[in-house]
Structure formats: structure tokens, C-alpha cells
Amino acid sequence: MQKRVVITGLAAISPVGTGKDKFWRALVAGQSGIGPITRFDAAAMPVRFAGEVKDFDAGLFFDRKEARRMDRFAQYAVAGARMAVEDAALDLDKENRDRVGVIFATGIGGMETFEEQTRVLLERGPNRVSPFFVPMMIANMAAGQISINLGTRGVNFTVVNACASGTNAVGEAFRALQRGDADVVITGGSEASVTPLAVAGFAALKALSVRNDDPTRASRPFDRGRDGFVLGEGAGVLVLETLEHARARGARIYAEVAGYGCTADAYHITAPAPDGSAASRAMALALEDAGLKPGDVDYINAHGTSTELNDRQETLAIKNLFGADAYRVAISSTKSMIGHLLGAAGAIELVATALTIATGVIPPTINYEEPDPECDLDYVPNVARERQVAVAMSNSFGFGGHNAAIVLRKL
């Protein structure tokens, strides 16, 4: 018999703030975290703004030597894991650490380290490349560093699945707990790719908004004037436990993880399939897994990237599955405020979705000014909405045609 799984700890490191509470207050207030790039000189870049994490202090979590040996994506992951464990009031010294796992996601990994060490190689020669280059850069090191830092010895692996990575990681953590492979899994995703090469690469792909003169209004999912996504960074981390384990220790429960589905478009390396059928099927599989119907869903945290094709195709996918209920369900994109965190996007959006269920407040889609006739659903425009949410879904769709959806339920 499959075990039930619940969320007991949450953490966020984001362009609108570090810490679950600061993150949530900003989302509910409709605050944008998008602004001019400060991490490097972007004057020559075609895109000169992003969603940077501005208030993260590595010194609160690591000594100087330890921090120097971690790329920022791993720093965000470990700091987020520690905050989520604290939020869950989980005393790891009282746990069987062989039964505590880490399943974590990133889309790109140590991009900043890769760029820095490439410059070292080209300017100073191969003998000056850091011996920590590889263990700082490789994508699995977020999961590895979390387990080293917290002493967890259970199931441990990394999901790299483009923009669906975070949702897939949480889904796979859900599956591991259902099967009985662990009692607790620390899961989520992290990304730190506001770097010159990443910005230049996404800009060359024509994927990014070019509203350099108005960055706070650049991310505008489902709005007719959308012109591309805004690159973001940070981490979303969740502590998942079996319901039995959570109740035995008297844990606070934010929501139950009820269902998970994932599919592939088998269509194109960057564009979503025009008919949205595989995205619809991922949502349908998640609902079927949860034993629910589309009419049971109160809220969808959309992938909602602010790109022309994605927003249109996600709207179509929701209509395909939900039918008339598509016009009833509340939908919002938190990317309008924090940008697109790539491999961490699905994770931080699940943090927001769990908080929606726990608080009865739906965050808005900001910068929604001009309706698009092809995007005609209820996107909770500009102002948060108080509404009790019993069932919520979070969607993620990635380059390569990866689709993933998770259903959360109020316990």
C-alpha cells in the first residue's frame, strides 16, 4: 500500500527576498524583484536586467573557506535546506539518517564557476585552473553538499530536466516516500545563472524580454504585450515526509502531495507542442494519481513564463483538460514577480502553492494590463485574492518538451 506524503517544511531564496516569510509577503503584495543586473557589467549586453537574489548572506550559513568551495547554486541549496529543516522543526539527531534522503534539481549547475575557470584557463593557462573547479561546477553537487552538510545518508540524486527540473525533483521525492524508500526527503531546486554567458545565450535564443528601460514590468505572463521571460535565480526547498512520520512527531503540515504526472512533447528542442496535448496529459496524470477530477482544482500555479508561445500553449492545455472549468479555476504566475528560476522554478512555485493552501491567499499575476484574446482565463490579475484553496496544481514545462505537474491538497 502506498504511503501518503505531506509537506512540513518550506524555504525560499528569491529575487524578492530570502526566507519563506519575506518571500510570501512580497508575492502577496505583488512586489517585483526584477531590476538592472548588478553582479557584472551588463552595459554591452542586449538584456541588462534580471531577477537577482539581493539579500543572501553566505556568512550566515558557511565559514569563508567553505563558501569559497561552493558555487552559488550549491550555497543557495544548502542554505535553503537548512532553513526548510528548521521550518519543519525536524531534529535530524533524532532521525535515522539512513532514512532521510535528498532529491534535488538544477537546470544548469555551476555556471558561474564554469565561466570563471574558463577565463582562468584562457588568460593564465591550464596550471592555474582550480582543483575545485569540477566539484564546484557539477550539477549533482547541490544534493551532495546538502547531504554532507546535514549528514543525511538516504536516497540521494539530482534531477536535471531544464525548466521542469524542480517539479520533477519534488515528484520523485513524493514517489520515493510513497514506496517507503525513506521517511523524510529534502527536495527542491536551486539555480544561480545570472552570469554573462547565460544571459548572452538566452538573449541570442530570443527567449528573454528586452524591456531594458522598464525591468519591473518586463515579466508579464499572459499579457498581450509579453515579449520573453526574465532570468531569475535562487532556490525553493521543501521537506516532504510520510504522513505517518509527520504525525508521529507532531509536525505542522502545510499540504498533502496528492499526485504527480510527467510527459514529453516529442516535438521541438525549445518550442512547446502547438496543441498542448502532452502538457494536458501531464496534468491529467497528476489528477488521476491524486484520485481527483479537473473540477476539484481551485488554483493552478502556472508555468506562465511570459513568452508568446508558452503562455498561449499552457492556456490551451488547461482548456483541453478542464473544459468549462478552465474559466472557473484561478490561475497565476509567480514568475511575474521573481522571473524564471529555470531548474529551480518548479520548486519555488511549489513553495508558493503550498503557502496558498496554508494561508488561503492566491498570489497575483502582476503586469497584466492588456488581455490577449488567446489567453482569456482568470489569471488573478495584479492583486492577490483571498480564497480558500482545497486543491491546487503547479505546472512546469521545459526545453526539450518536458512537462510535469504536481497536485497538492489541503489535509
Question: 187 and 169 in contact (C-beta within 8 Å)?
Answer: yes
Question: 97 and 29 in contact (C-beta within 8 Å)?
Answer: no
| Burial per residue of 378-409, b for 16 or more beta-carbon CB atoms within 10 angstroms, e otherwise | ebbbeebbeeebebbbbbbbbbbbbbbbbbbb
Q: Under DSSP, is residue 379 helix (H, G, I), strand (E, B) or coil?
A: coil
**Cα separation, 46 vs 203, whole angstroms:** 7
Pairing of strands 100-105, 156-159: parallel
Euclidean distance between the first and the last CA atom of the chain, given in angstroms as a whole number:
19
| Annotation marks residue 262 as catalytic | no
Look at the block and give the residue holding cell 553582479.
39
**Cα separation, 273 vs 396, whole angstroms:** 14
Other CB atoms within a 10 A radius of the CB of residue 179 amount to: 11
**Catalytic site residue from 142, 163, 186, 231:** 163
Residue 32's closest CA among 10, 54, 48? 54
**Cα separation, 407 vs 314, whole angstroms:** 16
Rounded to the nearest 10 degrees, the angle between the axes of helix 196-204 and helix 111-124 is 110
> Catalytic positions, please?
163
